[in-house]
């Protein structure tokens, strides 16, 4: 026996059973905790025990005294001899020290008192068990703990989005499943379309030589539909995320209430016993979101969006911030399962609060706080300037759309000149066997002629070789650099991944923005705008660089129209950042573009100006005055007076396709404002008898949303354009073109 005198300075947790240390006294009203009685140990902790099993710890201080309870097979036990001193903690815990009955199993033998000690370091604990050995020596077994976030409010289940159904069991074999401990006996078999545990074990005692079965895949939040059949007196369990056990027993089991059918074992009791007798098929419909469970048993809701206060004994992992597998108990009694279908749940994206704070602290002159977005009313794209409501496609095409084009020309992007010109094309290089023979590459010049003057800019084109019908194409507006034909062949560039685009069956072309109009404040004299004006300075409402770059994309499209191997009715225009702003305006000015793809385009692109979130009209027009016509700058700080907003830019492209993409860490571009523009354009698509995204809730991070003629995704990471973005966009293009 280890004497209580040794328990003065520490607290820890051990056991091959799952523990829960709760720092609230049971059934006793407590006085509010004063600052003097707080401790950095207070909170929930995920524990990884020395044998690799999971533990769960919750700690509080009440009236200057640490209190706790141990979670073990459904019955809480108050901990005693618990002490904290600064960043150190210690307590006694009984544990078995004998060898396991089978390889990988829990220790056996008599349980004896063992001292557990821990040292706190921020949100982690380094712990050790002092385990007495038969020879009188002490063996130290290290383990660790991680602080867990508190459970939040109950989620609004009306705002969740279900993913595609995943059939976890194919009815034929165990593909997609494996034993949690490969050293145990695999009693699981696929029999007549059922997943059957054939163990001969009949008693309720946990642990046996027969193993538990888990999915290869891991999940976070989901809706699970599963049918089970347990014999009379049988006992099994379904572990959600490998952490929370949905109890599997029959209606008349000796295990009832918080341990009975319909329960999250030991954590949440069902509101009623909706079970069926042993030997009959039963069905669970379980929704798990933000550590809250909703359980429908045999058609009766028995748990309604209630928080799960910690994982269950036998969990694979106690870290509730991590995804986990679905696992089925095989070390209890026999059981049968069928029709196991899981649908992942995607929660709407929200800006990371820590990123919001750090970005706000770094750039306090700009707003990144959603609560500080000003109240605003968007102009109605279906109400003309004279107040008439647009109710027919003819009105849109003949009245409102031309009206909006003029408003954007006069107030945002400027008016292109109507000077007559001619365009011809010169090939400067060709490789008919580019990309290991998959494509023909050409380096070209577009030559613009007005009278006896000329201006040219280079572009590159790749066309797939092995096609039976004309291919669709993507014209990429590259705002970073010019990529030569040879460089595009020799080097993979995520910003313009030529081979990936070709492999998807698309032709592709690209040009550099500055080759058309220099991307700098003082570059006017060397660009296409000056060429058209014959050197005269621009008028206030004359086109600026964004419009000039879009004009350049149209000239590349002129060339693609000359190629029989390209279907010029299926051409998309794409761009990132300032190139993304350009792609939207290019498709608005030129209806030949069948899709516009705008990536991280932000202010002046897809993001609503009236939100004044991240980059603003004031900042963008002062830093990049050459992008927009002069009148746009007059709306700095008074965005509500703009006669248009960016949802109407997207509406101008309807009924053609529009794809908008954002990045999780790119708050400067206002991802929410970009998405809201897509949603606010929906009435125009609807008027033109096309479906589009109209759900107000954003999709989850990394979850693509495609509805009819519009698509959207927000990916992890910062401001940029990469392979994942291209893959998602081409998925959308496929939905439009193929």
577 is catalytic: yes
| Cα–Cα distance measured from residue 477 to residue 465, given in angstroms and rounded to the nearest whole number | 23
**By three-state DSSP, how is residue 257 classified?**
helix
Residues whose CB is less than 8 angstroms from the CB of residue 615 and which lie 6 or more positions away in sequence, other chains included: 366, 602, 603, 607, 668, 669, 670
Taking each helix axis from N to C terminus, what angle separates 646-653 and 578-589, rounded to the nearest 10 degrees? 50
**By three-state DSSP, how is residue 340 classified?**
strand
Q: Kindly tell me the sign of the dihedral angle through the C-alpha atoms of 713, 714, 720, 723.
A: negative
**By three-state DSSP, how is residue 530 classified?**
helix
User: Shortest CA distance to 731 belongs to which of 718, 713, 717?
Assistant: 713
Q: What angle do CA 25, 31, 37 make, to 5 degrees?
A: 85
Residues whose CB is less than 8 angstroms from the CB of residue 435 and which lie 6 or more positions away in sequence, other chains included: 441, 462, 489, 498, 499, 502
| Cα–Cα distance measured from residue 235 to residue 197, given in angstroms and rounded to the nearest whole number | 12
Contact 50, 141 (CB under 8 A): yes
The CA dihedral of 259, 260, 262, 264, to the nearest 10 degrees, is 10
Q: 60, 577, 583, 598: which is the annotated catalytic residue? A: 577
Q: Which residue has the tokens 């509500």?
A: 640
The structure tokens listed for 385 are: 């300037």
609 is catalytic: no
> What are residue 559's phi and psi, to 5 degrees?
-70, -45
Query: Helix (H) and strand (E) counts for the chain?
Result: 16, 34
| Cα–Cα distance measured from residue 90 to residue 129, given in angstroms and rounded to the nearest whole number | 10
**By three-state DSSP, how is residue 401 classified?**
helix
| Intra-chain end-to-end CA distance of the chain, in Å | 76
Contact 478, 511 (CB under 8 A): yes
**In 485-638, at which residue ranges do the beta strands (DSSP E only) sit?**
507-512, 566-576, 595-599
| Cα–Cα distance measured from residue 520 to residue 512, given in angstroms and rounded to the nearest whole number | 14
**By three-state DSSP, how is residue 646 classified?**
helix
Residues constituting the chain: 738
User: Shortest CA distance to 306 belongs to which of 154, 156, 160, 149?
Assistant: 154
User: Shortest CA distance to 472 belongs to which of 357, 594, 575?
Assistant: 594
Q: 108, 271, 500, 719: which is the annotated catalytic residue? A: 719
Q: Please write down the HEC assignment for all residues of 603-634.
A: ECCCECHHHCCCCCHHHHHHHCCCCCCHHHHC
| Cα–Cα distance measured from residue 365 to residue 220, given in angstroms and rounded to the nearest whole number | 37
User: Shortest CA distance to 461 belongs to which of 479, 481, 476?
Assistant: 476
> What are residue 307's phi and psi, to 5 degrees?
-70, 145
| Cα–Cα distance measured from residue 710 to residue 488, given in angstroms and rounded to the nearest whole number | 29
Omega of the bond leading into 378 within 30 degrees of 0 (cis): no
Which are the catalytic amino acids?
577, 719
């Amino acid at each position: 026996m280890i004497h209580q005198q040794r328990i003065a300075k520490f607290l820890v947790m051990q056991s091959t059973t799952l523990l829960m240390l709760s720092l609230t006294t049971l059934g006793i009203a407590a006085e509010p905790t004063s600052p003097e009685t707080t401790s950095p140990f207070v909170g929930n902790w995920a524990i990884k025990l020395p044998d690799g099993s999971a533990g769960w710890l919750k700690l509080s201080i009440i009236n200057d005294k640490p209190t706790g309870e141990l979670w073990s097979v459904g019955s809480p036990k108050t901990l005693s001899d618990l002490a904290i001193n600064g960043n150190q903690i210690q307590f006694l815990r009984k544990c078995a020290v004998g060898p396991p009955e089978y390889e990988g199993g829990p220790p056996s033998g008599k349980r004896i008192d063992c001292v557990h000690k821990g040292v706190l370091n921020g949100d982690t604990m380094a712990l050790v068990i002092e385990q007495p050995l038969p020879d009188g020596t002490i063996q130290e077994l290290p383990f660790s703990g991680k602080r867990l976030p508190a459970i939040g409010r109950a989620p609004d289940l009306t705002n969740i989005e279900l993913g595609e159904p995943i059939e976890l069991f194919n009815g034929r074999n165990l593909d997609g499943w494996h034993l949690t401990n490969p050293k145990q006996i695999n009693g699981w078999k696929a029999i007549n379309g059922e997943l059957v545990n054939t163990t001969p074990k009949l008693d309720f005692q946990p642990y046996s030589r027969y193993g538990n079965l888990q999915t290869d895949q891991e999940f976070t939040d989901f809706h699970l539909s599963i049918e089970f059949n347990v014999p009379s007196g049988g006992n099994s369990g379904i572990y959600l995320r490998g952490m929370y056990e949905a109890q599997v027993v029959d209606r008349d089991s000796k295990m009832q209430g918080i341990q009975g059918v319909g329960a999250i074992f030991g954590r949440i009791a069902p509101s009623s016993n909706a079970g069926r007798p042993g030997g009959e098929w039963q069905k669970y419909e379980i929704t798990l979101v933000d550590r809250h469970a909703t359980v429908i048993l045999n058609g009766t809701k028995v748990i309604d969006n209630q928080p799960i206060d910690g994982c269950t004994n036998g969990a694979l992992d106690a870290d509730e911030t991590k995804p986990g597998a679905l696992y089925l108990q095989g070390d209890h009694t026999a059981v049968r399962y069928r029709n196991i279908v899981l649908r992942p749940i995607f929660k709407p994206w929200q800006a990371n609060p820590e990123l919001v704070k750090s970005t706000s602290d770094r750039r306090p002159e700009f707003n990144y706080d959603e609560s500080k977005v000003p109240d605003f009313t968007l102009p109605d794209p279906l109400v003309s300037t004279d107040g008439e409501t647009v109710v027919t496609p003819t009105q849109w095409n003949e009245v409102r759309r031309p009206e909006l084009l003029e408003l954007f020309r006069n107030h945002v992007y400027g008016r292109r000149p109507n000077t007559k010109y001619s365009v011809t094309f010169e090939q400067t290089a060709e490789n008919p066997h580019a990309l290991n023979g998959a494509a023909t590459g050409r380096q070209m010049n577009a030559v613009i002629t007005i009278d006896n003057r000329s201006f040219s800019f280079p572009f590159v084109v790749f066309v797939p070789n092995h096609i039976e019908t004309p291919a669709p194409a993507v014209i990429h507006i590259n705002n970073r650099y010019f990529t030569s034909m040879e460089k595009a062949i020799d080097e993979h560039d995520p910003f313009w991944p030529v081979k990936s685009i070709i492999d998807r069956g698309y032709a592709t072309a690209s040009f550099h923005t500055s080759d058309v109009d220099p991307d700098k404040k003082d570059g006017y004299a060397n660009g296409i705008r000056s060429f058209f004006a014959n050197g005269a300075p621009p008028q206030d409402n004359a086109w600026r660089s964004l419009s000039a770059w879009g004009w350049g994309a149209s000239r590349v499209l002129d060339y693609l129209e000359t190629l029989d191997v390209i279907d010029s009715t299926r051409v998309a225009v794409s761009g990132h950042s300032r190139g993304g702003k350009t792609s939207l305006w290019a498709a608005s000015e030129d209806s030949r573009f069948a899709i516009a793809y705008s990536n991280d385009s932000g202010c002046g692109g897809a993001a609503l100006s009236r939100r004044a979130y991240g980059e603003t009209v004031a900042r963008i027009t002062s830093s990049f005055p050459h992008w927009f016509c002069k009148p746009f700058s007059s709306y700095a700080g008074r965005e509500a007076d703009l006669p248009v907003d960016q949802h109407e830019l997207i509406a101008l492209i309807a009924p053609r396709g529009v794809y908008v993409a954002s990045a999780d860490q790119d708050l400067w571009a206002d991802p929410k404002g970009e998405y809201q523009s897509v949603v606010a354009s929906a009435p125009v698509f609807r008027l033109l008898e096309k479906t589009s995204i109209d759900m107000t809730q954003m999709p989850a991070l990394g979850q693509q949303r495609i509805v009819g003629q519009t698509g959207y995704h927000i990916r992890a990471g910062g401001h940029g354009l990469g392979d994942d973005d291209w893959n998602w966009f081409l998925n959308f293009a496929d939905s439009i073109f193929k």
